[in-house]
Amino acid sequence: MKLIIDDADTQAIRRLIDIYPIDGVTTNPSILAKAGRPPFEVLKEIRSIIGPDLELHAQVVANDSTGMVADAHRIVDELGPHTFPKVPSVPQGFKAMKTLVAEGVKVTATAIYTPLQGFLAAKAGASYAAPYINRIDNMGYNGVQVAKTIHDIFRANDLDCEVLAASFKNSQQVLELAQYGIGAATLGSPIIDGLVKNQAITAAVEVFNADFQGLVGAGRTMADC
């Protein structure tokens, strides 16, 4: 399962890229709005941080297929290869996906709440389909199960598309989907930090360090011995 950052905070992205084995960054219009700067200014900075080879996902905002295709072309032209325009899984979006895929553009289908949206997106040629895990939960359904169902549909129908699960509230949701082998998960910065934020882990490391320094002296490490 790919691990992707869902954020447009460039300081947070820089820190997480430095620490963790990250595969890319996703954004959406709401995330970009929080940055409070021109969207391509932020996206270009993100691209400069993550380099040319990691994935960057940015969303089209036009309402009709012609406008979506134009938005997608601008996104790829500005941000280069390994950039995935995110296209909403609605009728005009499916039409745009077909056009873009025929032109060789890799597409991420977004705003997915149902398995059949995922199925149609994959049939339209999308590389990723992004169900919103926590938002689905908040509607009274099981977001993790929806993502698993979409994954199963792709495999059963030999569709060349992967689930890119989004909108998480806790690490347990991430764990369940990692165990299931879905293609990717995109997580907000606090969720990524929470994957290993555990007092038991911190306490264990502190005990090891205290015992070692009791043996060799305060402040010393294996490199000093």
Residue 120 Cα to chain centre, angstroms:
20
Q: What is the pLDDT of residue 202?
A: 76
Average pLDDT over residues 186-198: 91
**Dist CA 75 CA 18 (whole Å):** 25
Average pLDDT over residues 31-56: 97
Catalytic residue flag (residue 169): no
| pLDDT, tens digit (0-9, with 9 covering 90-100), for 36-47 | 999 999 999 999
Residue 63, both tokens: 């309402």
Average pLDDT over residues 77-83: 96
Which residues contact residue 102 at a Cβ distance below 8 angstroms, ignoring those fewer than 6 apart?
125
For 134, half-sphere exposure in the C-beta direction (CA atoms, 13 angstrom radius) is: 14
Residue 62, both tokens: 């036009």
For residue 192, the tally of other CB atoms under 10 A from its CB is 26
Sign (positive or negative) of CA dihedral 144, 150, 155, 160 = negative
pTM, 2 dp:
0.92
What is the signed CA dihedral for 39, 44, 45, 48, rounded to 10 degrees? Answer: 160
Catalytic: which of 2, 34, 44, 86?
86
**Dist CA 107 CA 69 (whole Å):** 11
Amino acid at site 16: L
* Spans of all domains in the chain: 2-194, 198-225
pLDDT of 60 strictly over 80: yes
- Fold exhibited by the domain 2-194: TIM Barrel (3.20.20)
How far apart, in Å, are the Cα atoms of 130 and each of 30, 140, 160?
Answer: 16, 18, 14
What is the signed CA dihedral for 60, 63, 69, 74, rounded to 10 degrees? Answer: -40
Amino acid at site 88: P
**Dist CA 197 CA 49 (whole Å):** 25
Which of the residue ranges 38-52, 63-77, 127-141, 209-223 would you say has the lowest mean pLDDT?
209-223
